[in-house]
Chain A
Amino acid sequence: MEDKIDVSVWRGTEQGEFRHYSVPRLASQTVLDVVTYIQRRLESSLAYRFACRVGMCGSCAMTVNGVARWTCRTHVEKVAPHGVLEIAPLSNLPVIRDLVCDMSSFFDKWARAEGHFHPTATRTDPIVRVQPDTPARRAADAGIECIGCAVCYASCDVVAWNADYLGPAALNRAWTLMNDERDSGGKVRLAAVSGDAGCHACHTHMSCTERCPKKIAPTAAIAGLKRATLAALLAGRL
């Protein structure tokens, strides 16, 4: 094991440059540990985001050696066996400063995909008992652990080509709600996810599914939306 890591970190906004830092190599070190070391010891003006450090909050995603990853649970050993790291902000999002992206377009698209719950009951109604083993509930469960880290969004070719495309995370969210039996927003949601900016723009390259740190398969969710919209179209409901 080398005793130093040669780290280049993006400094600046959309315009900027990589600056080099030398960071001591430690056992079980994560990429986030490296960035934190640089910010605390070498470059106090470095901007980056993190919160939980344990893979729950979804705020620390960055581009590590060209690949979008959650940095808090990415070991240096795994991605930089030769001790060379290049850390950049996520792709497909505007850079605010250094490693911090403006996530608004990402989350606005969740709203545009009708990614919120449309309730069918009120607080005075009894709590609905949802059977865990129905096919619909299983489909919802498959996608519900999304932490909104935008790794999929940054990895998606279609987002890079078509700025309006809703992206894997928003569509995955829409599909979990389509399979929520307590939700009544199905019709408006299918309309919202249709067309050139919606699920039909997906080319099934599967970068999102390959890169998702939570092992979710947004491609499967998007395929589900494609089938659901097609069925609705053929039935005259859309």
Chain B
Amino acid sequence: MSPRAQLQLWAAQRIGAAVLALCVTVHLATMIYAVRHGLSATAILDRTRDNWGWAGFYVLFVLAVSVHAPIGMRTICGEWLGLSGRAVDVVLAALGVALAAVGLRAVWAVFAS
């Protein structure tokens, strides 16, 4: 992989991080609010079902995390496990796609069910 491509990955990870910083803050606040009286499926789904705002928020959240996490893992693979090269990159790209897929499925689940 060229240094330029590596720079692009780094940039993508940091842009993902900036988006996540906002998302996670909102997410933490929502969680703390939501668990006040214990979690209930009805309460969760009442909040999310047919709500385009939350759906949009979580789609963004899932996509940002799917970009951010595999690139971080790529660095860790290289530095701690000595694993780098094309094969590792392909596996991690697959991890990103998989995360996005199950994540979007979860968003769909709480939006449409």
Q: Report A-B touching, CB under 8 Å.
A: yes
Q: Which residues from chain A sit less than 8 Å from chain B, CB to CB?
A: 158, 161-162, 191, 194-198, 200-201, 226, 229-230, 233-234, 238
Main secondary structure of the interface of B (DSSP, over half): helix
Q: Which residue of B is nearest A162, CB measured?
A: B79
Looking at the complex, which one of A161, A196, A197, A230 makes contact with B80 (CB distance below 8 Å)?
A161
Q: 7 tightest A-B contacts by CB?
A: A195-B3, A195-B6, A161-B79, A200-B10, A194-B7, A194-B3, A196-B6
B7 near A200: Cβ-Cβ < 8 Å = yes
A197 to B2, CA, bound (A): 11
**Cβ of B11 and Cβ of A194 under 8 Å apart?**
no
Known: A230-B11, A233-B11. A162 touches B78 (CB 8 A): yes
Contact between chains at A238 and B79 (CB < 8 Å): no
Name the prevailing secondary structure of the A interface residues: helix
- Complex: A203 Cα to B84 Cα, angstroms: 18
Nearest residue in A to B76 (C-beta to C-beta)? A161
A234 to B, closest residue via Cβ: B11
* Chain A positions within 8 Å of B80 at CB level: 161
Give chain A residues whose Cβ lies under 8 Å from the Cβ of B84: 196
Contact residues of B between 1 and 36, Cβ < 8 Å to A: 1-8, 10-11, 14
B12 smallest CB distance to A (angstroms): 11
Given contacts A162-B78, A233-B11, contact A238 B6 (CB under 8 A): no
- Nearest-CB distance from B11 to chain A (Å)? 6
Q: Which residues of B are interface residues toward A (Cβ below 8 A)?
A: 1-8, 10-11, 14, 75, 78-80, 84
Q: Nearest chain A CB to B89's CB is how many angstroms away? A: 11
* Selected contact of A233 from candidates B1, B8, B75, B78, CB within 8 Å: B8
A196 to B6, CA, bound (A): 6
